[in-house]
A and B are shown apart, each in its own frame.
Chain A
Amino acid sequence: MAKKKSATPELDNTHEHEGHEHHDHDHEHNHDHAHDHDHAHDHTHEQSEEEKQIARLKEAIRVELADIGTLRKKMTVTVPREVISERLNDQFSELKRDAQIPGFRKGRAPMALVEKRFGHDVNLQLSSQMLTSSYLAAVEKENLKTLGDPLIWTRNPKATDEAEQLVSVEQALEFIRLPSSGDWSYSCELEVRPEFELPPLENVEIRDPLIEISAEDIEKQIERLRAMRGRYEPQPDGALQADDLLVGRIRITVGEQVLLEEENGQLAVRPQRYAGIMMEKLGNDLAGAKVGETRTTVGQVPNDYTNESLRGQSASVEITLQDIKRLLLPEINEEFLQSLGCTNRQELEEWIKSNLESYRLDDAQNQKREQVYKYLTTHCQIDLPERLSQRQADRIAARRILDLARRGVPESEVMKQADAIKVGAQADAINDLKLQFVFEKIGEQWEIEVGEEEINSQIAAIAQRQNRRFDRVRDELIRSQSLEALYIHVRDEKIVDRIITSANLVKTEPDDKDTEQKPSKKKKKDTGDEHTGA
């Protein structure tokens, strides 16, 4: 019984590690160096064997190609019987040498018995091998630049109908079997890379926003820092002013329906959305109110409100003031400066200026990059394979719908927006794919190479941002197979930077100065988090 069991793993072993079986490591002591050497030798041997097989197949197979759409082809591959028989014989003779069958010494079992016993497994294994190698050989023979895996026409042996289905390679491998006689033929559908001309990449006209930090900008930042360090003081006798914080009883009604009734609700006195209701006139209607007073303002139920029947209606917001709190800003004195790590005002202003400059430089660089992306997508005429762009669009749409669901948007609302999301995703997918092909082509043309140290520095940056260990982040990237995406990101950045360096930069006024952030907070970069967050 024990012997019987060992026969099957023996078979698996033989086939999974072709090329290894000739080198039995019989020595018991560890010779690491010699061992490594043997494996390296095996690997090259295996590779060259496989290449040889594909080269032989390339000559033997017959391939028919037909166009069936944009960048879509149907390929019929016929593998002659001689090739199949030769491969079967090779497999069985190799197997015969090592097969352990009860009643026979190792390697002494007759071929007929080996074929009968392992025939099914060998056919299974060989059919998947032949499918892969013949497909690769056919692609090489026809000089095709394919995109992704092909879809294969197969007949499901378990299905009742005889019709052929178009299935993925993984599924096809389950169904496809080599015929016992005659040539073997199969059809597959594949997508090929688009051919296109690159636009001129030198002297591209790019707007370069001027970076000027005015005294007013610095003053605004100082005010912001003061506001961050300010505290709210109760004003029991004062009248309500804009930007004060009110504490009171809040009652929101739409018609007869009470949406909210709460004690000690806190609201800043400025136009805002509270409990889902938009209150535009809050600041004006409550100005001058004192503690104990009740005022009413009008709100609007927005179109994305959870209760559909109330959308678009006006709401009445009744507020009874219980307390008024006002923000007291700290003085710009030594204590305030020290809390920011500065000794005097001039130092603080310089620090703010340098932070603002670096932020705006980043922003300007991003704007330039956006312009390069736009230039490349608008100046390249690329036909995209339908299936690929559809897949990409589906992925983007699915991600956006999931995002909406995560943000708590009700499912009925998501379903309503799904069509719009899908249309938007389609356009984005086309742009993404276009850029992908363009960058790939530029990368090849300019022979852009990304070194290991560049990848490592990116990983280190991600690790630093997430406050995690470098090796953990790297392992996670490897596990989630995002390392390739990181590589592509670095390559694309290098290409864009090179285009910007050789571009014709036109100095312009910045688009929007007020979009700046707090100077102490660095703008979050988009790549690393995307990769690790996945």
Chain B
Amino acid sequence: MDIYHIIKRPLITEKGTHQSSVTHEETRWKVARGGSYAFEVHPEASKPMIRAAIERIYNVKVLNVRTAVRHGKRRRYRFTYGNQPDWKRAVVVLEPGFHIDLF
């Protein structure tokens, strides 16, 4: 799998912006740990694959990768029910001193 297929897009959210603006060291005991960046990744991408891809794309050193599969929501169209697709979210913690400029 190509690295650009592994990393689909960065997730620019309020929580993500906060996490990227504080350091990992000073917030490691909190839920929203700093120094980390969220991405939507390929559902079959593994943590080592994500780590390698991020290091290649952004030229940074990755400390840790956490992943979560977000289940698609149930949606109704008229009388038919359907599901949005599941997607994988990865939170990448960078080594101290590294930074990704997302916007």
Contact = CB atoms under 8 A, between A and B. Distances in A.
Interface of A: 103-105, 108-110, 112-113, 116
B14 A108 contact: yes
Interface string B11-27: 11110110000000000
A113 B12 contact: yes
A103 B16 contact: yes
Contacts, number: 18
A308 B81 CA distance: 81
Nearest to A105: B14
B103 interface: yes
Report the 8 A-B pairs with minimum CB-CB distance, sorted nearest first.
Answer: A103-B13, A104-B14, A113-B103, A108-B14, A116-B103, A110-B17, A103-B12, A112-B103
Nearest to B17: A110
Nearest to A113: B103
Given A112-B103, A113-B17, 7 more contacts: A103-B11, A103-B12, A103-B16, A104-B17, A108-B14, A110-B103, A113-B103
Nearest to A101: B12
A116 B103 CA distance: 8
Contacts of B11: 103
Contacts of A105: 14
Nearest to B15: A103
A105 B13 CA distance: 9
A440 B16 CA distance: 65
Contacts of A110: 17, 103
A110 B13 CA distance: 10
Nearest to B101: A112
Contacts of A116: 103
18 contacts: A103-B11, A103-B12, A103-B13, A103-B14, A103-B16, A104-B13, A104-B14, A104-B17, A105-B14, A108-B14, A109-B14, A110-B17, A110-B103, A112-B103, A113-B12, A113-B17, A113-B103, A116-B103
Contacts of A108: 14
A120 to B, nearest CB: 15
Contacts of B103: 110, 112-113, 116
B89 to A, nearest CB: 13
A105 B15 CA distance: 10
A112 B103 CA distance: 7
A110 B15 CA distance: 11
A101 to B, nearest CB: 8
Contacts of B16: 103
A369 to B, nearest CB: 71
A471 B88 CA distance: 67
A112 B12 CA distance: 12
A235 to B, nearest CB: 89
A116 B101 CA distance: 13
A112 B14 CA distance: 13
A247 B13 CA distance: 95
Nearest to B13: A103
Interface string B66-103: 00000000000000000000000000000000000001
Contacts of B13: 103-104
Contacts of A104: 13-14, 17
A402 B66 CA distance: 78
Contacts of B14: 103-105, 108-109
